[in-house]
A and B are shown apart, each in its own frame.
Chain A
Amino acid sequence: MSDNDKIIDEVTSSDYKYGFSTQLDSDTLKPGLSEDVIKQISLKKNEPQWMTDWRLDAYQIWKEMDEPEWANVNYSKPDFQKISYYSAVKKKQIDSLDEVDPELLKTFEKLGISLDEQKRLSGVAMDIVIDSVSVATTFKKTLKEKGIIFCSMSEAIQEYPELVKKYLGTVVPKSDNYYAALNSAVFTDGSFCYIPKDVRCPMELSTYFRINEAGTGQFERTLLIADQGSYVSYLEGCTAPQRDENQLHAAVVELVAMDDSEIKYSTVQNWFPGDSTGKGGVFNFVTKRGVCEERAKISWTQVETGSAVTWKYPSCILKGDNSIGEFYSVALTNNFQQADTGTKMLHLGRNTKSTIISKGISAGHSHNSYRGLVRMGPRAKNARNFSQCDSLLMGDKCGAHTFPYIEVKNPTAKMEHEATTSKIGEDQIFYCQQRGLSPEAAIALIVNGYCKDVLNQLPMEFAVEAQKLLAISLEGSVG
């Protein structure tokens, strides 16, 4: 076998091994949710009994719960009996880019996404590109040498059951909230990552490299464990717009940061937001949470531009003394999008510190809410929080709302909260135009300046893409 053949063989065979086997490919469960459906999901995924039981338990919990009403968003609730919870049917293959929505292609082009990548993202059948395959292979090899595990959740359940069993649901319990319970019962796949003690992960871990496992579906489950003294930077999502026939997305992400470890978790979320009238977009209800042991640090950085409805609060439980939580967020809404995002910083340990920088941008008829909770527990001596929540409005038909919740149970804890609301000034746009920028370029520039503190937290390449994405998402909102 030539080297190239070997690479192809490796990838395709692992695809077969960890993905869905061929005879299941045409399988779709009938819509609806019941104990039986969950058993079937588990069976089709060839899961051990403990996993099946775990799912069933979650299902029982979910059945008793009510869908939350409190987020500042309006949508017609999904009918959970109309969703099919398991579909192994391959996505409809398209033969060439000519069949792809030209609007989508235009966006790809503006983002500077390569032709091959465009094909992959829009589901065009394509031969394996040797280049990216070998990149992925080298990547896996380097990780393996360091003892880092980075694989799909399905694979982890098969190969590393002890780790999964030990940590799954410890940060986001099954009973945490309605969507977390649902996810626990029916999740189909996601990512699993373990960084061993004192290992510094040498590259940004990105779901992008898991090329053989694209399209993890609507109930994604991610578990990331950083053992003592380790470091990892994890990138989730993709700046290219992702379409999906599934309207409801309810992901759960759990981070475990043990003593002296650090996790940087960066997300660019760009699900289809619906058309300019707001029809057809994705509902994105995500539970993300991390727990920090002593001196550990978790940073959440997110750039949210997609989805019709977003409901998402990446949070940190600062359990260990001297641990640090950070949240940097840009949430942009346009047209009829609604976003209700923010964070929770739960200070349990002594000398714990948290920083919250939230930048909301609303345009069109959209609504953008920041909801943040900072809780200083009774043991949180000398805990510190700094929060800054800014809103930028474009036009007068959109809305920005800020809901800060503060609970302090220790008198030595200190918090600082700053909030501003501003508009892009016509004089700013005119100034830029006078220097040769189009109004669109002017707005992109002003918005990037406004988001700088957050974009600076992203890895360089991701930041550049995120900047372009912000500009594109605001197109047509001038005037």
Chain B
Amino acid sequence: MLEIVNLHASIDNKVILNGINLKINLGEVHAIMGPNGSGKSTLSNVIAGHDGYDIISGDILFDGESVLDFSPEKRAHLGLFLSFQYPVEIPGITVSNFIRTALNEIRKAKGEEPLGASPMLKMMREKMGVLEMDKGFLSRSLNEGFSGGEKKRNEIFQMAMLEPKMAILDETDSGLDIDALRIVANGVNSLRSNRNTFIIITHYQRLLDYIVPDFVHVLFNGKIVKSGDKELAIELEKRGYDWIKKEQE
């Protein structure tokens, strides 16, 4: 599904991604861990097509096709979803209006008819049920005045509505209390299937207790320096990142 080949990327002439290689197949869940500033959000943004970064070399392939020239919206139409570490506010636009617009833009790109108001509402109610969200949420202005946890839950709600083929969750767990964490994890697990994939970016083993990954990678200085299964996450939790840093020196 997703293949990243020897990817080097920079911002303002500062190299941040230093040769990333990663291959992800349908049905898999990959966790990416790593200390602050190691380039996790940069990698998410670059995969999503943010034009603030320069791609120095390497490639990103969706289903075998290079997407480097594709706009962010085109990548979204192909089924990519990014749950942002810091979701932005859009004052005056309600959650339901935003999701309806997004869903119908994606349907349009696929040549499908827009989803009508009543099936849309039904679907929203359903997904909100799974995520234990209050229905008053729908009429609130997008992310405006939301608590950190509400913002993250709203990201997962959007993901549930858009049913992406590949979702990247960038530190979705930070800012969530233990109950919210469990609910969000349930949400992700309920979407998991052999027709999609997830990349879970996190600092903590905690989330991975609920969403059990098939692979765990450690990102350090813009490079994947270690890969393993969920045991690696447990080891990182115990020992911190220092031993990885030492290994690199």
Contact = CB atoms under 8 A, between A and B. Distances in A.
Interface in A250-265: none
B134 to A, nearest CB: 22
B130 interface: no
B106 A436 contact: yes
Contacts of A453: 92
Given A430-B72, A449-B93, A435 B88 contact: no
A354 B106 CA distance: 44
Contacts of B98: 435, 445
B76 A449 contact: no
B240 interface: no
Contacts of A431: 84, 87-88, 90
Contacts of A439: 73
B84 A449 contact: no
B50 interface: yes
B48 A428 contact: no
B77 A449 contact: no
Given A435-B158, A437-B102, A446 B90 contact: yes
Contacts of A432: 90, 102
A448 B101 CA distance: 13
Nearest to B80: A434
Contact of A433 (B52, B72, B93): B72
A434 B98 CA distance: 12
B105 A450 contact: no
B91 interface: yes
Contacts of B49: 433-434
Contacts of A132: none
Contacts of B221: none
Contacts of A279: none
A361 interface: no
B72 A449 contact: no
B11 interface: no
Given A434-B82, A436-B73, A425 B141 contact: no
**Interface residues of chain B: helix, strand, loop or mixed (majority):** mixed
A448 B92 contact: yes
Interface in B80-119: 80-82, 84, 87-93, 98, 101-103, 105-106, 109
B9 interface: no
A45 to B, nearest CB: 47
Among B72, B98, B103, B106, the most chain A Cβ lie within 10 Å of the Cβ of: B72
B71 interface: yes
Interface string B121-164: 00000000000000000000110000000000000001000100
B82 A441 contact: no
A79 interface: no
Contacts of B92: 448-453
A441 B106 CA distance: 12
B90 A445 contact: yes
Contacts of A437: 73, 101-102, 105
Nearest to A430: B50
Nearest to A359: B92
A449 B91 contact: yes
Chain B interface size range: 20 to 34
A428 B87 CA distance: 9
A126 B194 CA distance: 60
Nearest to A451: B92
Q: What are the 3 closest A-B residue pairs judged by CB atoms, nearest first?
A: A449-B92, A452-B92, A433-B72
Nearest to B84: A431
Contacts of A449: 90-93, 141-142
A145 interface: no
A439 B74 CA distance: 11
A103 interface: no
A434 B87 contact: no
16 contacts: A427-B88, A430-B48, A431-B84, A431-B90, A433-B73, A434-B73, A434-B81, A434-B84, A435-B76, A435-B102, A435-B105, A436-B77, A436-B109, A437-B73, A446-B93, A449-B92
Interface in B206-246: none
A216 interface: no
Contacts of A448: 92-93
A4 interface: no
Nearest to A433: B72
Interface string A409-447: 000000000000000011110111111111101000110
B141 A433 contact: no
Contacts of A433: 49, 71-73, 76
A428 B84 CA distance: 12
B70 to A, nearest CB: 11
A426 B53 CA distance: 13
A446 B89 CA distance: 10
Among B81, B92, B102, B103, the most chain A Cβ lie within 10 Å of the Cβ of: B92
A445 B93 contact: yes
A433 B75 CA distance: 9
A435 to B, nearest CB: 4
A388 to B, nearest CB: 13
Contacts of B141: 449
Contacts of B162: 435-436
Nearest to B144: A449
Nearest to B76: A436
Interface string A232-271: 0000000000000000000000000000000000000000
A455 to B, nearest CB: 9
A394 to B, nearest CB: 15
Given A441-B101, A445-B93, A446-B93, A434 B76 contact: yes
A448 B49 CA distance: 25
Given A436-B77, A446-B93, 10 more contacts: A426-B52, A430-B48, A431-B88, A433-B71, A435-B158, A436-B73, A436-B102, A436-B103, A445-B101, A450-B91
Nearest to A426: B52
Contacts of B103: 436
Among B73, B76, B103, B106, the most chain A Cβ lie within 10 Å of the Cβ of: B73
Contacts of A452: 92-93
A431 B154 CA distance: 13
